[in-house]
Amino acid sequence: MERHGRVGPYRIHRLIKRGGQGNVYLGYDGRLQRRVAIKIYRMPNRRSARRTLLREAQAVASLDNQRIVAVHDIIESREHLALVMEYVPGCDLGEYLEQVRPSLASVVTVGQDIASGLAVARQQAIVHGDLKPANVLITAGGRTKLTDFGIAQHDAARQGSAGSLSALSPEQCLGEALDVRTDLFALGCVLYRMLGGEAPFHSGGKLDIQWLLERPPAPLSALVPPEMDVPEELVELVMRVLSRNPQLRPGNTHEVRQVLREVKRSLPLSRDSSLLREARPCFRQDAPGDIPLEIPTALGSASRSRLSRAGIWSSWLLWSWPRRLFASLALLGLVATPVVIALQERETIVHIDAPVMEWRGAAQVPEEVSAAWLVEQAKRVLGRELGNIRVRGPIGATPDTVFRAGVNGDPGEPVEKLQIQLQCSDGLCAFAVGRDREGQLRYRQALLLDGMTLEQWTAIVSEATAALYD
C-alpha cells in the first residue's frame, strides 16, 4: 500500500466515500484533464469469480446514457479491480433525503431519471441489484444518475445475490432469479421514502426481513402530507411495484415512466425544476486535504486496463489500421484521391449562431463564460453525440473545425443548426439552447444559480445541450 498513489495513469487526490463493497476516491486523468471517481474492489480468490466480476464490469461499462454514471476505464491487478468512472460533483440522494423533505416535482424528476437509466440497463440484460438512495447521484444540473452497478447481473437468469441490506427485494432474500422487476421494486422503495418520509418495511430504522417477506408496506396514502397533493395514480403505482410477488409488478419501465410523465404534466411550471434548488445546500464541498490512507500499490505499478482491451482497443484497431494502411499505400502511390475524399465525408455540418447574451442585473458568473466558451461547450457535446462534425458560424470556428467545401466547390447546407441564449438577472442565469434538424425543432433550458463554479456551469450547459439528443 502507498500514500498519494496512482491507479493506472490516474492520480488519486482524496477519499470520497467508504463502502462495504469498496472505497471511492477522487482521481485525476491528466491525459484528458478531467476529474474521475475511482472505486476499488478486492478481487475474489476463485478464478471463476474473478472472470465473472470482470465480465460484469465490462458489461456495465457498455452502458451509455446520461442517466447512468459512465465507466471510463477498468484497471486490474492481481488482487484489486478499479472502476474509473465519471465524477459527479454534488451529493447522493441519501444525503439529500437526510436534510430535505422533497417536493412532488423533485420526486417525479428522480423517478423519471431512475426509470430511464433502468430502461437502458434492461436493453443490455443488466440488473442493477443494489438500487438505493446512496447509489443515485444528484448532479450540478439538478438531475440524477445511477451509479454502482457493483453486483449487476449480466445474465438475468442467474440466481439472485443479496445487495445492501437496505435495498433488498423479496426475491433477493429467497435467492431467486433477478430481472428488471427487482430494480422496479427498489425504485418503489425510493419513491415511497421520498413521498412518505420513511422507508417501507423498516422498523426502528432497520429493514425488517420478516415484514418484507410476509406483509405489505404501510399504506403510502396515510404517510403523504396532504399539502403535497400527490395524485392517486402515483400512490397506486408505488404500492404496485412494491408487491412481494414479482409477477404482480410491471414487467418493464414503460408503465412507470408513463405515470410519472402524466404527473409531471399536471404540475405547475413554477414547481417543475425544484431538485437543484432543494439539493444545492447538500452538495459536498471539495476537501483537498482529505488524502486517502491506503491505495493498493499494484494498481499503479503492475496494473492493466481491461476496458481498453475490450472496447477502446478494438475501436482503435477498427479506425486506425485502415488509416495506417492507406498512409503506407500512399507512400507507394497506390491510393487514389477519391478514397481520401470518401474518408473525409463522414462528417455532419453544423451551424452555430452567435450566442445571444443579456444581462439585466448583477450575477456572479465565472469569468471564463463568454460567447466563445458557450460555443465550445456546444461543440464538445456535438462531437460526442454526432461523431465527426464540421462547425460553421460567426464565432468558434477554427481552421480545424470549419467545414470543407464539397468536391464540386459547393459548401452545402448544414444538417444541424444550433441557437444559444444566456440571460442573467440578479442571482440567476437562464441558459437555453435550440436545435433545428431538417425543420424539426427542439428546445432545452436550464437554470444556473449565483456563485456556481465553472465546473458546475460546464456540467449544466453540457447536460442541457445533450438533452436535445434524447
Q: Are residues 276 and 309 in the same domain?
A: no
More confident site: 360 or 351: 351
Bridge partner list, 192: none
d(CA 11, CA 3): 11
More confident site: 63 or 237: 237
| The pLDDT value given to residue 253 | 93
| The pLDDT value given to residue 189 | 96
Is the pLDDT confidence value at 127 over 80?
A: yes
Residue 321 belongs to a domain: no
Q: Across the chain, what does the average pLDDT equal?
A: 79
In a 10 Å sphere around its CB, with 0-12 CB exposed, 13-18 middle and 19+ buried, how is residue 368 labelled?
exposed
Q: Are residues 176 and 77 in the same domain?
A: no
The residue assigned the cell 426502528 is: 204
Burial 280-289 (b: 16+ CB within 10 A, else e): bebbeeeeee
Q: How confident is the model at residue 295 (pLDDT cuts 50, 70, 90)?
A: low
More confident site: 372 or 410: 372
Is the pLDDT confidence value at 396 over 90?
A: no
Q: How confident is the model at residue 152 (pLDDT cuts 50, 70, 90)?
A: very low
Q: Domain range spanning residue 371?
A: 337-469
Residue 201 belongs to a domain: yes
Provide, rounded to the nearest whole percent, the portion of the chain with pLDDT above 90: 33
Q: How confident is the model at residue 145 (pLDDT cuts 50, 70, 90)?
A: very high
| The pLDDT value given to residue 215 | 92
In terms of average pLDDT, the best of 256-265, 277-286, 328-337 is 256-265
Provide, rounded to the nearest whole percent, the portion of the chain with pLDDT above 70: 77
Grid cell, residue 61, equals 461499462
Q: 139 in helix, strand or coil?
A: coil
Q: Are residues 449 and 390 in the same domain?
A: yes
Q: Any alpha helices (H) in 197-270, and if so which ranges?
A: 209-214, 232-241, 254-266
Closest C-alpha to 139, from 328, 282, 290, 304: 282
Q: Are residues 65 and 121 in the same domain?
A: no
User: Which of 87-91, 148-152, 295-299, 317-321 shows the lowest mean pLDDT across its residues?
Assistant: 317-321
Q: Are residues 61 and 128 in the same domain?
A: no
Residue 325 belongs to a domain: no
Residue 1 belongs to a domain: no
User: Which of 141-155, 200-214, 272-286, 431-445 shows the lowest mean pLDDT across its residues?
Assistant: 141-155
Q: How confident is the model at residue 69 (pLDDT cuts 50, 70, 90)?
A: very high
Residue 302 belongs to a domain: yes
Dump pLDDT digits (tens) for 204-242.
Answer: 888 888 999 999 999 999 999 999 999 999 999 999 999
Residue 245 belongs to a domain: yes
CATH of the domain at 133: 1.10.510.10
Q: Are residues 115 and 237 in the same domain?
A: yes
CATH of the domain at 403: 3.30.160.100
Dump pLDDT digits (tens) for 172-181.
Answer: 888 888 899 9
- Which of 130, 148, 179, 183 is labelled catalytic? 130
Residue 327 belongs to a domain: no
* Strands 144-146, 34-42: pairing kind: unpaired
Q: Are residues 254 and 303 in the same domain?
A: no
Model confidence, pTM: 0.65
Q: Mention every residue, 6+ apart, whose C-beta is less than 8 A from residue 151.
A: 21, 129, 130, 161, 163
d(CA 467, CA 109): 14
Helix axes 254-266, 104-123, angle to 10 degrees: 150
d(CA 364, CA 450): 5
Is the pLDDT confidence value at 340 over 50?
A: no
Closest C-alpha to 142, from 101, 206, 89, 215: 89
| The pLDDT value given to residue 88 | 92
Q: Are residues 344 and 453 in the same domain?
A: yes
Q: Are residues 100 and 78 in the same domain?
A: no
Grid cell, residue 1, equals 500500500
- Examine the residue annotation and report whether 113 is marked as an active-site residue of this protein: no
Q: Are residues 434 and 381 in the same domain?
A: yes
Is the pLDDT confidence value at 60 over 60?
A: yes
User: Which of 81-95, 272-286, 301-315, 407-421 shows the lowest mean pLDDT across its residues?
Assistant: 301-315
| The pLDDT value given to residue 302 | 54
Phi then psi dihedrals of residue 11, to 5 deg:
-85, 135
More confident site: 470 or 130: 130
Q: Are residues 220 and 308 in the same domain?
A: no
d(CA 353, CA 420): 7
Q: Are residues 82 and 136 in the same domain?
A: no
CATH of the domain at 54: 3.30.200.20
Number of CB atoms found within 10 A of residue 272's CB: 16
Amino acid letter, residue 463: E
User: How many domains does the chain fold into?
Assistant: 3
Dump pLDDT digits (tens) for 359-384.
Answer: 877 778 888 888 889 999 998 888 87
d(CA 260, CA 246): 21
Is the pLDDT confidence value at 459 over 80?
A: yes
Residue 322 belongs to a domain: no
Q: Any alpha helices (H) in 273-424, and if so which ranges?
A: 275-279, 298-301, 306-307, 313-331, 337-344, 371-386
Dump pLDDT digits (tens) for 243-274.
Answer: 999 999 999 999 999 999 999 988 876 544 68
Phi then psi dihedrals of residue 111, to 5 deg:
-60, -45
d(CA 65, CA 212): 32
d(CA 7, CA 304): 10
Q: Where are the beta strands (DSSP E) in 4-150?
A: 6-7, 10-17, 23-29, 34-42, 71-76, 80-86, 91-92, 136-138, 144-146
Helix (H) or strand (E) holding 433: strand 428-437
Q: Mention every residue, 6+ apart, whose C-beta is less than 8 A from residue 170.
A: 185, 212, 213, 244, 246
